[in-house]
């Protein structure tokens, strides 16, 4: 993977609800790895919305649904209860480390080619998936206003300069994958 492309998602959608899952199934995708915070729910929420929970449950006959999040194991257990599988990531194995991705692929008996990672952060979700050659889908964060300090710093010092560079050097890719993701002037 070229250094310049390590943060480049394969696809972009405004929400995980907008992704054409039937097309993914037709292409042989068997597993969906989802980030949790700001992808499936806001950072400060302690439960999935009923709509999002039902949507994910409807996807379960088509795909193995796995939550791959840097949230604590306690938070994952609180939010997901026993409704969905998740991989708890320890301090040294948080995304973008390959460890969680490898563990999930092995535990759910799928290959990288049969898997899609869906998340809202370039530095963790997209970079981690790209390192593993897992198809990466970037979604717009649900609410940037209540993100952790680490997420805000990452967006400002890593995502923002990267996206500005893409906008300048490759406007077509910017239009396809980042235009709706972030407002650069803020």
User: Within a domain: residue 126?
Assistant: yes
Confidence class of residue 110 from pLDDT cuts 50, 70 and 90? Answer: very high
> What does pLDDT average to over the chain?
92
Q: Is residue 129 part of a domain?
A: yes
Does 87 fall in a domain?
A: yes
| 112 inside domain | yes
Q: Is residue 156 part of a domain?
A: no
pLDDT score of 24 more than 50: yes
For the segment 43-96, what is each residue's pLDDT rounded down to a tens digit? 889 999 999 999 999 999 999 999 999 999 999 999 998 899 999 888 889 999
Q: What would the mean pLDDT of 153-171 be, rounded to a whole number? A: 90
- Pick 183 or 5 by higher pLDDT: 5
Residue located via tokens 């609410």: 143
Give the CATH number of the domain where residue 121 resides.
3.40.50.1000
Enumerate the β-bridge partners of residue 136: 117
Residues 6+ apart with CB under 8 A from 89: 68, 69, 70, 95, 97, 99, 100
Could you give phi then psi for residue 136, rounded to 5 degrees?
A: -115, 135
Report the 10 Å Cβ neighbour count for 111.
12
pLDDT for 183 equals 60
pLDDT value at 184 more than 60: no
pLDDT per residue as tens digits for the range 114-149: 999 999 999 999 999 999 999 999 999 999 888 888
Model-level pTM greater than 0.75? yes
Residue 151 lies in a domain: no
82 inside domain: yes
Expressed as residue numbers, the domain containing 84 is 7-146
Number of compact structural domains in the chain = 1
Q: Could you tell me if residue 38 is inside a domain?
A: yes
Characterize 142-151 residue by residue with b for buried, 16 or more Cβ atoms within 10 angstroms of its Cβ, and e for exposed: bebeebeeeb
């Amino acid at each position: 993977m070229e250094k310049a492309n390590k943060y480049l998602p394969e696809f972009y959608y405004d929400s995980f609800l907008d992704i054409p899952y039937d097309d993914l199934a037709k292409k042989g995708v068997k597993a969906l790895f989802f980030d949790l915070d700001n992808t499936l729910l806001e950072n400060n929420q302690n439960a999935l919305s009923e709509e999002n929970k039902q949507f994910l449950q409807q996807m379960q006959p088509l795909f193995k649904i796995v939550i791959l999040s840097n949230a604590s194991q306690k938070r994952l257990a609180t939010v997901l209860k026993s409704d969905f599988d998740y991989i708890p990531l320890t301090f040294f194995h948080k995304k973008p480390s390959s460890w969680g991705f490898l563990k999930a692929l092995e535990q759910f008996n799928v290959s990288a080619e049969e898997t899609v990672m869906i998340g809202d952060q370039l530095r963790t979700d997209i970079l981690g998936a790209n390192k593993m050659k897992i198809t990466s889908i970037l979604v717009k964060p649900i609410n940037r206003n209540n993100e952790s300090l680490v997420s805000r710093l990452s967006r400002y010092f890593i995502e923002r300069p990267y996206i500005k560079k893409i906008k300048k050097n490759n406007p077509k890719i910017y239009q396809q994958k980042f235009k709706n993701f972030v407002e650069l002037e803020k």
